[in-house]
Amino acid sequence: MPELPEVEIVKQSLSKKIERKRINKIIITNRNLRFKIPLKFEELLKNKVIKKVTRFSKYLILNFSDESFCLIHLGMSGTVHLIKKNNISKFTNTSFYNSPSLPKKHNHVEIHFEGLKVIYNDPRRFGFFKFIENKKELEKRFSHLGPEPFFKTFNIEYLIGYFTNKKKDIKSFLLDQKFVSGIGNIYASEILFLCKINPTTYASKLTKQDCKKIITYSKSILNRAIKKGGSSIRDFKNITGKSGNFQKEFRVYQRENLSCLRNKCNGKIQKIFISNRSTFFCNTCQK
């Protein structure tokens, strides 16, 4: 599943191409995504002007000039393709977990602009589109989610207060979108490695210094991943057609049984499962 950095790259890609453009038409070939696309969806979006493309957590948000919105979630396998209408053989895959060529099937939604169209492809159909009428409804839609690591509210007081008396490991907390939005499995392991925190540690047992490290490294890891264009675990591409490069900087993720890369550490990277998700850590510097 795309995590915050990958969705941010997709957002940047779309921003460059569709902002200030008017939607001419919507073509839906399969409404049965995670949530069924309503019959009136095409009518609701037709002639809307994209004022801005934004992102919250792992959600893409099309901001329309009339102050309405469209949420897009890529799910597990959703990909977004930008295609110039006058040259359909050339396009750019801007999403995650797919080949750099537009698949022949599973194209469920097409958004047409002047000279350009955006195609949403999703083999597993866990993604979704949702029309939001106003800002109040949008805020309500996100009210159950925690702050992003970049927000000022993701601070020491918040972490210590949230962790008090909680009998849950810190890795599970980092994956819990009610606690913090946008961190996924890859980056949770990388963050905890830099913090020298074992992923099975109960969050309630973390010190104030541990919490400071989580805040600092959550921001730095995600910023670094965005700067590197995301992590190309399979064939992630950005708007220029280039792969992400952050996977070249993984310290623990997918490095099972390899030597720890931390200076003067003789440990080995171990793999365990927490909340049914693969978790990687050093058996020496993350004891």
Please list the active-site residues: 2-3, 58, 277
DSSP 117: E
- Name the residue among 246, 275, 278, 251 with its Cα closest to residue 263: 251
**How many residues are present in the chain?**
287
Cβ neighbours of residue 119 closer than 8 Å, sequence gap 6 or more: 80, 81, 83, 102, 107, 109, 110
CA-based max dimension of the chain:
62
Could you give the 3-state DSSP secondary structure of residue 252? coil
Residue 94 vs residues 65, 116, 242: alpha-carbon distances, Å: 24, 14, 9
Distance between CA atoms of residues 77 and 129, nearest Å: 14
**Edge to edge, what strands does the sheet with 91-93 contain?**
25-28, 107-113, 116-121, 79-84, 91-93
